[in-house]
Amino acid sequence: MFCYQCQETAGCTGCTMSGVCGKKPEVANLQDLLVYVTKGISFVTTKLRAEGKEVSEDINHMISVNLFTTITNANFDYDSIAQKIEETINAKEQLLEKLTDESNLPDAAIWNGAKAQYDEKAKTVGVLSTKDEDIRSLRELITYGLKGLAAYSKHANALLKDNKDVDAFLQKALAATLDDSLSVDDLVALTLETGKYGVEGMALLDEANTSAYGNPEITKVDIGVRNNPGILISGHDLKDLEMLLEQTKGTGVDVYTHSEMLPAHYYPFFKKYDNFAGNYGNAWWKQKEEFASFNGPILMTTNCIVPPADSYKDRMFTTGAAGYPGCKHIDAPYGETKDFSEIIEMAKKCDAPTEIERGEIVGGFAHEQVFALADSVVDAVKTGAIKKFVIMAGCDGRAKSREYYTEFAKALPKDTVILTAGCAKYKYNKLNLGDINGIPRVLDAGQCNDSYSLALIALKLKEVFELDDVNELPIVYNISWYEQKAVIVLLALLYLGVKNIHLGPTLPAFLSPNVANVLVQNFGIAGITNVEDDIKALI
Ligand code: FS2
Ligand code: SF4
């Protein structure tokens, strides 16, 4: 195996024996093969579109789910990955019959091996099969961005929203990573175009979420527990949460959010469920202790899964692109209701969650809520009460070096405001950093995809202050990344023209020195150093 797609990759170079995330070599290899056949089917769909032929939504959805399945910490289940490969090959064979011009097809679009051949084939199609390190770096940068884009599309699709242009681009770009005739310059251009569609994909999901559930609003979320048994729902899929809340209504079972599901509390729609109890725990990487003390069943709707301890493995369920061997997977076709009755019946027999903390956290500062506060925000900037906004969005992770972000938040001068999104917030959302004229010093927009809100807020401020360039705003960027959704957020920000983003705790291992240099030269991307020096440099 060779995998270097996430920030925790072994030795900051690549996981080769087993994943730091817990991914076994045979699963890592099979994910490579799933990406390969997904590139193959994308080559065929792209050719079909060029011939003026329609590609169905089902195929678009399949491609997105395949990529999502290979995101860090989403799916560890060999059998489910093998099944997706088989289904993709079968679908691709049918699409090939519709193709008029079958010349010049790459191996990925032709290969249709049987299951018994998957393991051998998988070893030949991984990251290292691209020999030139700069081409490899750009191909992977694009592929990881597309994985993030696919995840956001998938969530929008679950709410019955599709954007055919996003799907067509995603597949065209995926197919382009097979094309040996593309130069470094071509791939750099494609990287930026991926960022453009990253903005579109996040806009699609924002529209899907807000049209279904309303615009997030300022909300206090309880972080304690009640006396009833509970179900803990984690990951990012709001449609799964809606189905779970509908089915638990009146059963005496409470529903708690975990990690990236916390922002669900900010949407008006979910407030009508009186069994929607609060948020339990922290970011994904603390789940081993927190899932044990939760006592009830856990539903993982997406990443990030930590390989479960035996003490709660039989209480952990997966759905959608997520999967873990030995954990029950519950699913239904798009638009149909998933049956969570087994989880609810299990919950009824479990103890109520053990209290691990008390209090509340405040969030809900997505674009519409911040626009509603625009007058006081603009006033605070004009009077000098707010000197700087610090965008600290992204991911949390287990590396000790990430304590930097807690210390950085604490060390920021009192006239700065943190704008956050994603699970990165857990490093500072319980610090009680106070407020500036009633504006909290930590404004949480929501999940990682709600970084889109942060971009809209920046563009709005640019308009209000009548500036020509978003980089003239008193906003600095100190972003922490972990997995591939952060890659599409980064590419989206670059596409929007944002410069001088600090990225940590380490720069991606998949950036070759030359590709890193392109990002440094053109966009001023930089790493982090230490809190004291970075505060001096940024503030
Ligand atoms: Fe956090 Fe994991 Fe949100 Fe990432 S819970 S690192 O999936 O996309 O962020
Ligand atoms: Fe390693 Fe990250 Fe890949 Fe897991 S996802 S195998 S930790 S690089």
Domain extents in the chain: 10-212, 219-348, 372-538
Atom of ligand 1 nearest to the CA of 397: 6
Sheet holding 388-391, edge to edge: 442-444, 416-420, 388-391, 475-480, 502-504
Whole-angstrom Cα Rg for the chain: 22
70 lines ligand 2 (CB under 6 A): no
Atom of ligand 1 nearest to the CA of 283: 5
Give the distance (Å) from ligand 2 centre to CA of residue 483. Answer: 9
Architecture per CATH, 372-538: 3-Layer(aba) Sandwich (3.40)
Q: How many residues does the structure list for the chain?
A: 539
Atom of ligand 2 nearest to the CA of 19: 6
With 0-12 CB in 10 A as exposed, 13-18 as middle and 19+ as buried, what is 523?
middle
Of the listed ligands, the closest to the CA of 16 is: 2
Low-confidence ranges of the chain (pLDDT < 70): none
Give the distance (Å) from ligand 1 centre to CA of residue 401. Answer: 18
147 lines ligand 2 (CB under 6 A): no
Query: E strand or H helix at 209, and its extent?
Result: helix 184-213
Pocket of ligand 1 (CB under 6 A): 259-260, 284, 303-304, 395, 422-423, 447-448, 482-483, 485
Whole-number pLDDT of residue 491: 98
Q: What's the pTM value of the predicted model, to 2 decimals?
A: 0.98
Contact call for residues 447 and 263 (beta carbons, < 8 A): yes
Alpha-carbon torsion angle 88, 94, 96, 99, nearest 10: -130
305 lines ligand 2 (CB under 6 A): no
21 lines ligand 2 (CB under 6 A): yes
Give the distance (Å) from ligand 2 centre to CA of residue 396. Answer: 15
CA-nearest residue for atom 3, ligand 1, is 448
8 lines ligand 2 (CB under 6 A): yes
Q: Write down the H helix ranges in 251-357.
A: 287-294, 310-313, 341-348
Whole-number pLDDT of residue 464: 94
Atom of ligand 1 nearest to the CA of 236: 3
Which residues partner with 472 through β-bridges?
A: none
Contact call for residues 45 and 171 (beta carbons, < 8 A): yes
Whole-number pLDDT of residue 492: 97
Of the listed ligands, the closest to the CA of 397 is: 1
Atom of ligand 2 nearest to the CA of 22: 4
Whole-number pLDDT of residue 311: 96
CATH dotted code for 219-348: 3.40.50.2030
How far apart CA 518 and CA 521 sit, in angstroms, is 5
Q: How far is CA 284 from CA 78, 99, 240, 374, 389, in A?
A: 22, 44, 18, 33, 26
> What's the DSSP call for residue 439?
E
395 lines ligand 2 (CB under 6 A): no
370 lines ligand 2 (CB under 6 A): no
Name the fold adopted by 10-212: Substrate Binding Domain Of Dnak; Chain:A; Domain 2 (1.20.1270)
Of 8, 205, 234, 284, the residue with max ligand 1 atoms within 8 A of its CB, to mutate for a pocket test, comes to 284
Give the distance (Å) from ligand 2 centre to CA of residue 210. Answer: 33
Atom of ligand 2 nearest to the CA of 9: 8
Q: Is there a common fold for 10-212 and 219-348?
A: no
9 lines ligand 2 (CB under 6 A): yes
Q: Long-range contacts: 375-378, Cβ < 8 Å, 24+? A: 376/437, 376/438, 376/439, 377/439, 377/461, 378/461, 378/464, 378/465
Whole-number pLDDT of residue 72: 98
CA-nearest residue for atom 3, ligand 2, is 3
Whole-number pLDDT of residue 397: 98
75 lines ligand 2 (CB under 6 A): no
Of the listed ligands, the closest to the CA of 421 is: 1
Give the distance (Å) from ligand 1 centre to CA of residue 80. Answer: 22
Whole-number pLDDT of residue 135: 98
Query: E strand or H helix at 329, and its extent?
Result: strand 328-329
Give the distance (Å) from ligand 1 centre to CA of residue 220. Answer: 22
